[in-house]
Amino acid sequence: MARIVMKFGGTSVADIARIRNVARHVKREVDCGHEVAVVVSAMAGKTNELVAWTREASPMHDAREYDAVVASGEQVTAGLLAITLQSMGVNARSWLGWQIPIRTDNSHGAARIQEIDGSFLIKRFGEGQVAVVAGFQGLAPDNRISTLGRGGSDTSAVAIAAAVSADRCDIYTDVDGVYTTDPRMEPKARRLDRISFEEMLEMASLGSKVLQVRSVELAMVHKVRTFVRSSFVEPDAPGMDDFLNPPGTLICDEDEIVEQQVVTGIAYAKDEAQISLRRVADRPGVAAGIFGPLAEAGINVDMIVQNISEDGKFTDMTFTIPSGDVAKALVVLEKVRDTIGYDAIQHEEGMSKVSVIGIGMRSHAGVAATAFEALSEKGINIRAITTSEIKISILIDGPYTELAVRTLHSVYGLDKS
């Protein structure tokens, strides 16, 4: 007998028929004798509808009331799944985030989990009950409902798995695992059997939409073995009840990966924008004067390139941000122009960031050179480059995204089984 947390996303619970299918997946694990807790998202499209209603009611709405509205989507799903499980003879009960409780900070709309007392759910296990928990929500210090931001149900599931010392956290979605790259971009993409926490964190933060970034961070910190699985595979299909090796991708510590590839995957993010500040005063504190105000405005800065100052007086500073933040960033930078001291500001939208990821890069030289040469042969110009121990990110013009992804996927042999 094992302890499992199962999480189902919005497409998996989009209607009653799919909720019945989810219930069959849950019943399979219960029939195997496992202790099970389930975390659910709102039905597909419901959160968008609720968000639109709050904005229609008032564009400048109270974040606490926003949370009260949008958290209702998960409440509906949890109740419907509990009813369906009960109709199948499974002892199930739905619970909201504040009932566990999942305690968060006070950042309504984008709260972070502070604490979960697992004893409440462990007691449910002892009673032979399946706890169906509404994801994406918790209880803030002001004693009101809080929400965790988009994709927050993944974070709820991993945090609950850590709190109850689960043997595994299964994230069910509309794909059957983590692929070497987006299969819609590269048909030769392969599903990975295993991927390390660090690699998955890079994939998630660099454009892969499979898991929410904070959920991967939590899984890595608490060593929660996490499976990405498809809810659209028949619950009684061969191997679905295999506890050790079910169909899907295991996200785990790199020590569990016996044979490490140099490159594990290629991620990409579109709609990047490049901003350049020309002839910035080259003196201590200027970088802080630029990026501090941007951070305070909630603008996420990614790649940063500073040219070497020839005369020791002036330099150029180039960085990337999401295209949707350009207008806000330009306003912020104009306000601090006199403080920073720059001659001109230029911006260009429609960029893409393509990233090569793999823990094997730590011990292999020439990985970056291979990428640069391959892109050069395809006539793809590189605008900026950033690196870490296990990733290389390259900024290119947006129209070349698909060609770059396919080229890099092939040059590193990821299209070969």
Q: Which residue ranges make up the annotated binding site?
A: 7-10, 47, 74, 173-174, 179, 184, 209-210
Report the alpha-carbon distance of residue 383 to residue 394 in Å, rounded.
7
Calpha distance 200→193 (Å, rounded): 13
Q: Which residues fall in the annotated binding site for substrate?
A: 47, 74
Which residue is listed with tokens 């010392």?
Answer: 165
Instruction: Give the Cα separation of 262 and 364 in Å (integer).
Output: 7
Using DSSP bridges, classify how beta strands 194-196 and 35-40 pair: parallel, antiparallel or unpaired. Answer: unpaired
Cα angle vertex 154, ends 225, 42, to 5°?
A: 145
Pairwise CA distance, residues 260 & 363, whole Å:
11
- Write the DSSP symbol of residue 381: P
Based on DSSP, count helices (H) and strands (E) in the chain, helices before strands. Answer: 13, 18
Whole-angstrom distance, CA of residue 140 vs CA of residue 128: 30
Q: Which residues are annotated as a binding site for ATP?
A: 7-10, 173-174, 179, 184, 209-210
Q: CA nearest 110: which of 148, 77, 84, 76? A: 148
> Are 113 and 103 in contact, with CB atoms under 8 Å apart?
yes
111-144 residues labelled b (16+ CB within 10 A) or e (exposed): bbbeebebeebbebbeeebbbbbbbbbbbbeeee
